[in-house]
Amino acid sequence: MKVTIDNITLEVEPGTTIMQAARMIGPEVAPPAMCYYEPLKGSGGKCRACLVKVTAGSEKDPRPMPKLVPACITAVQDGMIVENTVNEDVLETRKGIVEFLLLNHPLDCPVCDQAGECHLQDFSFEHGVSSTRTVEERNTFEPTDLGPNIQLNMNRCILCYRCVYTADQITDGRVHGVMHRGDHAEISTYIEKAIDNDFSGNVIDVCPVGALTDKTYRFKSRVWFSKPVDAHCECEKCSGKATIWYKGDEVIRVTGRKNMWGEVTDFICNGCRFDKKKTADWVIEGPTNVSRHSVISANKYGANLIKPAFPVLQAARDYKQINDDRDRSFLGIQPALPKSKKK
C-alpha cells in the first residue's frame, strides 16, 4: 500500500505504522520517539512525542483525521497522507509535549551521566522552547539502588515503560514496574527488591533519560570525552557483541550496540556489561559508527590523543615562521620566540 509522508510517497506492507514508514524514508522525516522502541513489543503510545497530522486518512476515505495521531501506534492505510516536519500544528504541539515531559524532570544535565546521549535532551533541543513557564515544585524522589550495579533516579524518569518491557521480555521474573497512578506514578521494585538477573543491565541502555544508570560507570567521564569501539567476546549467555567505551587506555564502560535510532540491536548479559572492563577481555572490531550530529562524534578526548596529521604539522611550522601568537598548545608545540630573543 501507498503512504505519503512529508510529500514523499513510498510503498509499505500492510500493518506498517506511520513511524516505521517514516523511518524507511530517513531521519529527516522520522518523528521523534521517547517511548517507542522497535525491539520491544507493546512499546509506544505513552509519550506523544511522535504526534503527526494525517491530512488524508486513506484513498477510500480521504477525510483528514480530526486530531493529531501518535505515529508509533497508528497503522498506515492505503493512500494515507501524513505531515510531520511540514506541519505547523505538529511542530507547535511538540513544544507542548517537551514542556510536559519536563514538568517534573530536573534540569540537571551538567551532573547527569546521560548528558550527551539523552533523548530528552535532544528532543527539547530540537523541538522545545528555551524558557520555562512553571514555578511549581517538582516531584522529587531519593535515588535508589536497584541491586549492586543499577541506580534509579526517579526524578528523571519520564515513565516511558521501556525498562518494564525490557525486563518483561528479555529477563525471567520481572520484579519492577510502574507503581501508583498519574502524578504519583513511579518506577519501583516490588517491596524494595533488587533487580537481580543476568540481563537486568539492559534497562540502563533502553532508558531514554538518566533515570537508570550504570553504577560501575557513574561520574567516570562525560560521554564526549570517551571513545566507543565495537568489540566482541566469547560469551555463553549472550551474543558477546558490545560497544566498549575507552578513556585513554582504560575501558570505562560496556553497553549494548545501538542502531541509528538509538535502539539496542543485541541485548548483552551483565557479565559482559559489568565485569569485562579490560581490553584483553575483548576482540576489537573497530570504531563505533556514531551519528555525525551526536556530540560523541566530536570525540573531544581523542582530539588530544591523536597525533597531528602532516598538513597540521606543516601548518604549525608555517605559524612558527610568521611568529604567530595564536594558541597552538593543542598541537604540542611551543609558541615561537620573537626573533630578537632567539639565540
Q: Would you tell me which residues interact with ligand SF4 (CB under 6 A)? A: 157-163, 187, 206-209, 211-212
45 is an interface residue for ligand FES by CB under 6 A: yes
Other C-beta atoms within 10 Å of 328: how many?
A: 18
Question: Residue from 18, 21, 40, 47 that binds ligand FES (CB under 6 A)?
Answer: 47
Residue 162 partner contact from ligand FES, ligand SF4, none using kind-dependent CB cut-offs of 5 to 8 Å: ligand SF4
Minimum separation from the CB atom of position 18 to ligand SF4 (A): 22
Give how many residues touch ligand FES by CB under 6 A.
Answer: 13
Cα–Cα distance for residue pair 151/274, rounded to 1 Å: 13
Minimum separation from the CB atom of position 120 to ligand SF4 (A): 9
Q: In this structure, what DSSP letter does residue 61 have?
A: S
46 is an interface residue for ligand FES by CB under 6 A: yes
Cell match 557513574: residue? 218
* Residue whose C-alpha is closest to residue 224's, from 317, 142, 298: 298
Task: Note the helical H segments in the chain.
Answer: 18-25, 88-101, 119-127, 162-170, 202-206, 270, 300-305, 310-321
Segment contacting ligand FES (CB under 6 A): 31-39, 56-64, 145-153, 320-328? 31-39
Cα–Cα distance for residue pair 20/5, rounded to 1 Å: 11
Cα–Cα distance for residue pair 44/203, rounded to 1 Å: 16
Site for ligand FES in 67-126 (CB under 6 A): 70, 72
Q: Which is nearer to ligand FES, 23 or 257 (CB)?
A: 23
272 is an interface residue for ligand FES by CB under 6 A: no
Q: Could you list the residues that contact ligand FES (CB under 6 A)?
A: 33-36, 44-50, 70, 72
